[in-house]
Structure 1
Amino acid sequence: MGDHSGLHMSKDFQRALLSSMLDQAGTCGSSLNSSDTESDSDRKPGVAGDGDTKATSEVSSAPIDPKEYGMSLGYKQLYSGKEDRHGRYVWVCELPKDIGEPAENAESEKWAIILRHNQADCAALDRHSELKDVLGDVLADYPGVALELKRLEFDGRFEPLVHCWPALREAIAKLEHSAEQADADTELKTRLEHAKLLDNIMIKEFSEIAETMVDLKGNGVITYDHLWTIFEPGALVHSSIDNQDRAFRLHSSRYGKDAQGSPVFSLSCVFVDFDGQRFETQKHSLRIESFEGHRQTQNLRVFPIDFHDGEEEIKSKLKARGDKFEALAGTHYCNYNGVGWTPGQQPGTRDKFNVTGRIVIDGHGYNRYKPNHGIYLAALNAQIAQNVVRGATADANRRFGIPAYATFDFSDTGGMPCDGFFESEPSEGERQALTEDQKIIATPFVRGYSLRLKEWLNFFANSVSEIVFNEDAFASLELPDNQKELILGFTLANQVQRNRFDDAIAGKGRGTILLLSGPPGVGKTLTAESVAEKMRVPLFAMAAGDLGLGPKDVETELQNILDMCARWGAVALLDEADVFLEARNNHELERNKLVSIFLRVLEYYEGIMFLTSNRTSSFDRAFESRIHISLQYKDLEAKARKAIWQTFLDKHNAAQAVAREQPAARPLAGAAKLYAAQSTTAASSKALDAQKEEEKQQGEDLQPHKISAGDLKKLASLPINGRQIKNFLKMAQLLAAHRKEALAYGHVEDVVEATQHLHKATQASDEAVSNVYS
């Protein structure tokens, strides 16, 4: 974000500066004091100091030559008298006890510097001509300072001059070096004299503050009244927000009051964010409540990062997070385990969610599908933005790290995209890379969509991880080989040749729709899941209940979901789609609307969609031309059931092997050890024996299953579907763990017998329905 070496003072440099200031304060102070007592004949012509009575008493209202403005080497002190009827101070030469004659006139214009003092102990400094170039370099782009004005005023604590004092000293040193040259002109020497004069004034007025600053900084403490001295514009500040280390670039600070009228020190900062198109800066406000006495600087809610004991470590940590933030710009299919949040109804609140599973990082989509909470960082004035590399820092701004335009004008964009439309998303190669400093102040959040919660959320970048895909998922499908080849061939070809084939109407008929029908538990849903896993793309699974109730809500939600799926190249799965596919009639007008909406949306869908159903006989005939592949799944045969049993038993053994690697995580063993440690010697011996027996039993239930090939054949003969096989085996595992035994055929048999009544009742119901329709 820029070079700050000209602004920030190291501790060694601060001590050297203080020593220099104190040395010069004695010399300058005596010089200035002596000038008050010098006779008019002793004083050098054109030089006036503090308390120059001749210069201030014998005033003239006659106008002076404009060439003389600011050319008298010295400074003029004016004091505020009473306010006039317009509320303006009447400036006089001496601290008035009552109203005096105005002292600000044509004669006062000739002084290089005018110091104004009012009765509220506040001062202002007017900068005249010869200091213009010097201060122009020293205070370049300091927030709130307009150097182009004829009269430059500094109020109160002179923060810009105090913060930039080291830069003023550097400018004086350069002028001195130039003035030593044989060909140095008079104008250069005059500029040097005026710069030294300002430096002398700074020493006289602020040497005590400088001494206090160095003392406070050296001891790592600060007072509320001196907070302004450590918060310099452009400084890198640290805070902890959402239990996350954060760094910001300080833009400006001020003392004020909060909504309750309590005094606070407010800081306007910026950080780097991503709005879906580009990296940009985003504003953020921080504040420190008033406090009494001294406080450790590191204990403040926000403090300059160079006060942090582990400054380099924290910067390294923030940079690593910034690297990840930059890498996650754009659209990415990832895994997540952590907290996600979205802005709450009340300002400043957040609705939080526990998120586990797969997500899609998509900042552009977040703005598009959640516009009320969108992030729009583009400059409102596009003409300015065209000529500036976004995120770059202009040379003139390097001291304060201020971007060259737009975002430091803290005007509110109203949460709207530039010109009201969404820009196209740039490719990764077109995106401006972040600098090292920009990575440090990058936000810890990325925006995206939780596929499980069906919510657009903010995610912590450090909780995002890569997906470990199940390479064997599709191969384990119990389908005829020709069907598997057909499904995979169509879907993969659609992924490669996406959008090549089009209808006579643009955007129509580009998608691939597959209908999977058949009884429950035969692999319809698993087929869609396995295809998405094989293609390594998101699976957007939805049911009728996820789309709302009314036809309008269903249309909006369905259209958004399918747009998202097409955008991500995802596989859409509408499970139990019968409510949308069933034939229309003259009696159910609302359902007829749903069918019509679904027909129209399917026509314009550009991705891959799986529909699953149990009742194809009642479908509306209009769907026949919109479905590209229709596959009928039959009840599982013994061979297929055996393969499914074997697959789940293999997974059981793999899980047991992992559990055996982590015996210390077993809570019962830990309890026995704790009991043994707390018991007497005799009791401890018994406890240890009990612990050994317990561990022996626990070790048994972590062993591989004991289901033989003959047992597997018996299980395959059971007339159940794949989902029931998974449920039976899951219950059997829990039963075996309870008995502290290895999984065996007996456990499965006990579970089947205990739940057989439900299976028989369901089977009888299916047979009755079949008889009705036969």
Structure 2
Amino acid sequence: MSSYKINSASDYAVGQKCELQAYLEIFDGVQRSKTSVSDPFGKFSSRTDDSPYALVVNRAVEKDRPEKVSLQVNSPFILQTFREVIKSYSPVASDFTSPFELQNPSHMLIHYWEELQAYRSSAVGELRDHVDLLFEFMDHELGGKREEILAMIQKNQVDYQSAWALFRPGDVLYTEVEGEPWLLICDKASYEKDVQSGPYFEVRCKYASHDGKKSGEAAHTIIMWQKEHFPAQSLASITSLPIFPRQFFNMGEELEHSLRLRGQRFLSFRDFSVMAYDGKAQYLKEPPFGFYSESKCKKLWCQFFVDHIQDVQWDQDAWNSLVTGEKEKLVLQSLVTSHQFSAKARDQTQQKGKGLVVLLHGTPGSGKTLTAETAAEGTHRALITTSVGELNKNNYPASFELDLKKILRYATIWKAIVLLDEADVFLEARNEDSRSDRNALVAVFLKELEYFGGIVFLTTNRVETFDPAMKSRIHLSLTYSPPEVETRRQIWLQYLHAIPKGKSNVDPEQSIQDLVASKLNGREIANAITTAQTIARFQNKPLDIFHIHTVLDVGRKFDESLTNGGAI
């Protein structure tokens, strides 16, 4: 051990003197003074040249504020120790190759106390002397605080002021998102304060992610409010915190194994896929960095949990379930199934004239939407549904063009089928009296349709005269009339046979004659059965023909009231 003999500064290189210099800086609100003080280890020298000293302690005291301690590390041996043991510590802007000042030294030194102690036990010579000096400072300055923290942690507890001790940069942390486990790497943690909500503790983390093209590092921040997680200065259970070190989560290596499998599955979705999802999702305005997709039912970009994603169970009998003329079905199935999507999806010039446009014309509830859904189901493709009202919600051609381009671009890349409902505004013949804004919309639509290489279904129920420019772009037109008796019979039987056994007492063959007497369209038949099933569930009974007739009778009374001029 060094004798700590006081020699002149010129006798030592920077940090070579195995002694500790200490200063006390006092600010009384008006004047700031700094004086040297005897250090607690009895190794103080009054020299003003600090660079030879291995360690320099600065204590700052301000009125009505807690004491602040910083540690200037000059010793090349202690720097070597930090390089070999700690390597890097993100809150500290140093690579430990040159002297630096360690603000609030308790965090880094307590975080690496055990590792530094193990390194000290094998050190020899001057290296051991300097590391011993470091530990004399640590024991005196931080030892009591460390013992208090360890006592709390051993009981799975921590207070707000000591929460930092749980979050060592580089350690693996555990959190959950809607009940799904997530492991992250701690980057740094800090105490902050919000003017309205008060103090909070912020944990910044990082994790590996993938945006569909390349992998990289992403960031995530979790906040713990003092008044919420540590009310009335109380201790909090470590595992009750929104994020905590992995070692406190009571689950063995199977957690890492399951997450590795999840990660492999995550990467399997790099290419375009149509998948089914049953779980919660987080809405996002734009698709950001990571595993995200567009929800077809919500028409929103969302973040999805990998474990809830599964292959779509396509209806292999979709085409047979479509109730329409056999000739019409043959032509439609042939065109849709045989359609070739361009391999150069992003090259719009290659798409010109390569699209397939199908017009579905008929009364509401006659099966137009179902036809487009069947085409998507039968070809195992996603169906993008929209309407003129959605695309032109701002009643502005430029906005309409942007939204239409986006829909068609997605459909081209995903090789999806587009259903554009209520397309009357594009189909009706234009004349000199047509409004300029409508003409602008039609011009935009015709241009975009010309360069769309996918499949689009247009539906309408009230067009009498077709625009020649639009008509020339339609490859197939199908007319839907209110279903006749035989068509209604097929629809009723299809829905009744689809009800699982044990949930219905209805004999489809015996009941069909009474049911087809009601002149309902396909949508009304589907709604009647759905409503009847709801009544049966409410009564905790299987579906009975009585439930269906109850719904039909209620609907019949409403129709009669309309026929009689609204008198009920």
Query: After superposition, what is the alpha-carbon deviation per residue over 1:692-743, rounded to whole angstroms, capped at 9, x for unaligned?
Result: xxxxxxxxxx4242643xx646765776644454456566777889897974
**1:613 aligned residue (460, 465, 483):** 460
Who is 1:543 aligned against? 387
Alignment of 1:434-583 (within 5 A): 446-495=291-340, 505-549=349-393, 550-552=395-397, 553-583=399-429
Who is 2:80 aligned against? 133
**2:432 aligned residue (567, 586, 590):** 586
Higher strand share: 2
Q: Tell me, yes or no, if the aligned pair for 2:173 and 2:244 is still in contact at 8 Å.
A: yes
Which deviates further from its counterpart, 450-459 or 635-644? Answer: 635-644
Q: Tell me, yes or no, if the aligned pair for 2:408 and 2:452 is still in contact at 8 Å.
A: yes
Shift of 1:531: 1.0
Which deviates further from its counterpart, 289-298 or 594-603? Answer: 289-298
The 3 A distance-change label for structure 1 pair 47 and 264 is farther
Who is 1:79 aligned against? 23
Q: Tell me, yes or no, if the aligned pair for 2:427 and 2:467 is still in contact at 8 Å.
A: yes
Structure 2 distance, partners of 1:746, 1:212, is 70
Who is 1:156 aligned against? 104
Aligned AA (2:422): E
Aligned AA (1:485): L
The 3 A distance-change label for structure 1 pair 543 and 759 is farther
The 3 A distance-change label for structure 1 pair 374 and 618 is same
Shift of 1:146: 0.7
Shift of 1:619: 0.6
The 3 A distance-change label for structure 1 pair 298 and 522 is closer
Aligned AA (2:423): A
Question: Is 1:306 aligned to residue 247 of structure 2?
Answer: yes
Shift of 1:609: 0.6
Structure 1 distance, partners of 2:375, 2:550, is 33
The 3 A distance-change label for structure 1 pair 756 and 724 is farther
Alignment of 1:70-149 (within 5 A): 70-72=15-17, 74-81=18-25, 90-94=34-38, 103-105=47-49, 108-118=50-60, 120=67, 122-143=69-90, 144-147=92-95
SS in 1 for 2:10: coil
Shift of 1:572: 0.7
Who is 1:230 aligned against? 166
SS in 2 for 1:479: coil
Structure 1 distance, partners of 2:482, 2:25, is 100
Q: Tell me, yes or no, if the aligned pair for 1:584 and 1:592 is still in contact at 8 Å.
A: yes
Query: After superposition, what is the alpha-carbon deviation per residue over 1:585-630, rounded to whole angstroms, capped at 9, x for unaligned?
Result: 1222132222222211211112101122345641100123312223
Which deviates further from its counterpart, 305-314 or 150-159? Answer: 305-314
The 3 A distance-change label for structure 1 pair 733 and 312 is closer
Which deviates further from its counterpart, 307-316 or 218-227? Answer: 307-316
SS in 1 for 2:319: coil
Structure 2 distance, partners of 1:328, 1:725, is 39
SS in 2 for 1:277: coil
Q: Percent identity?
A: 27
The 3 A distance-change label for structure 1 pair 450 and 614 is same
Q: Tell me, yes or no, if the aligned pair for 2:14 and 2:53 is still in contact at 8 Å.
A: yes
Who is 1:165 aligned against? 113
Structure 2 distance, partners of 1:150, 1:293, is 41
The 3 A distance-change label for structure 1 pair 631 and 248 is same
Who is 1:287 aligned against? 224
Q: Tell me, yes or no, if the aligned pair for 2:341 and 2:415 is still in contact at 8 Å.
A: no
The 3 A distance-change label for structure 1 pair 636 and 307 is closer
SS in 2 for 1:122: strand
SS in 2 for 1:332: coil
Structure 2 distance, partners of 1:750, 1:213, is 68
Alignment of 1:370-381 (within 5 A): 370=285, 373-376=286-289
Aligned AA (2:188): S
Aligned AA (2:356): T
Between Structure 1 and Structure 2, whose CA radius of gyration is higher? 1
Who is 1:17 aligned against? none
The 3 A distance-change label for structure 1 pair 261 and 483 is closer
Query: After superposition, what is the alpha-carbon deviation per residue over 1:277-330, rounded to whole angstroms, capped at 9, x for unaligned?
Result: 344322314235165354433344443232234466766666665565555555
Structure 2 distance, partners of 1:577, 1:256, is 55
Give the gaps of 5 or more residues in structure 2.
Answer: 62-66, 564-568
Which deviates further from its counterpart, 136-145 or 165-174? Answer: 165-174
Aligned AA (1:47): S
Which deviates further from its counterpart, 456-465 or 211-220? Answer: 456-465
Who is 2:473 aligned against? 626
Q: Tell me, yes or no, if the aligned pair for 1:254 and 1:265 is still in contact at 8 Å.
A: yes
Q: Tell me, yes or no, if the aligned pair for 1:288 and 1:301 is still in contact at 8 Å.
A: no
Aligned AA (2:112): C
The 3 A distance-change label for structure 1 pair 261 and 608 is closer
Aligned AA (1:564): Y
Give the gaps of 5 or more residues in structure 1.
Answer: 1-43, 49-53, 177-188, 344-369, 378-445, 660-701, 763-774
Aligned AA (1:510): K
Question: Is 1:602 aligned to residue 543 of structure 2?
Answer: no
Query: After superposition, what is the alpha-carbon deviation per residue over 1:431-466, rounded to whole angstroms, capped at 9, x for unaligned?
Result: xxxxxxxxxxxxxxx533332333333444454444
SS in 1 for 2:162: helix
Q: Tell me, yes or no, if the aligned pair for 1:706 and 1:743 is still in contact at 8 Å.
A: no
Structure ranking higher on relative contact order (CA contacts 8 Å, 6+ apart): 1
Structure 2 distance, partners of 1:203, 1:750, is 82
RMSD between aligned residues: 4.2
Query: After superposition, what is the alpha-carbon deviation per residue over 1:496-537, rounded to whole angstroms, capped at 9, x for unaligned?
Result: 66569x99x544223211223345554333221111001111
SS in 2 for 1:228: helix
Q: Tell me, yes or no, if the aligned pair for 1:80 and 1:95 is still in contact at 8 Å.
A: no
Structure 1 distance, partners of 2:333, 2:266, is 34
Structure 1 distance, partners of 2:370, 2:481, is 15
The 3 A distance-change label for structure 1 pair 69 and 453 is closer
Structure 2 distance, partners of 1:203, 1:624, is 88
Aligned AA (2:296): L
Query: After superposition, what is the alpha-carbon deviation per residue over 1:88-114, rounded to whole angstroms, capped at 9, x for unaligned?
Result: 864525379xxxx97322xx5433334
Shift of 1:233: 1.3
Structure 1 distance, partners of 2:416, 2:72, is 65
Structure 1 distance, partners of 2:373, 2:390, is 18
Q: Tell me, yes or no, if the aligned pair for 1:731 and 1:751 is still in contact at 8 Å.
A: no
Question: Is 1:705 aligned to residue 519 of structure 2?
Answer: no
Structure 1 distance, partners of 2:246, 2:146, is 21
The 3 A distance-change label for structure 1 pair 749 and 163 is closer
SS in 2 for 1:238: strand
SS in 2 for 1:147: coil
Alignment of 1:669-684 (within 5 A): none
Q: Tell me, yes or no, if the aligned pair for 2:424 and 2:460 is still in contact at 8 Å.
A: yes
Who is 1:643 aligned against? 490
Q: Tell me, yes or no, if the aligned pair for 2:120 and 2:132 is still in contact at 8 Å.
A: yes
Q: Tell me, yes or no, if the aligned pair for 2:423 and 2:458 is still in contact at 8 Å.
A: yes
**2:552 aligned residue (731, 737, 751):** 751
Structure 2 distance, partners of 1:630, 1:745, is 40
Aligned AA (2:83): G
The 3 A distance-change label for structure 1 pair 218 and 603 is same
Higher helix share: 1
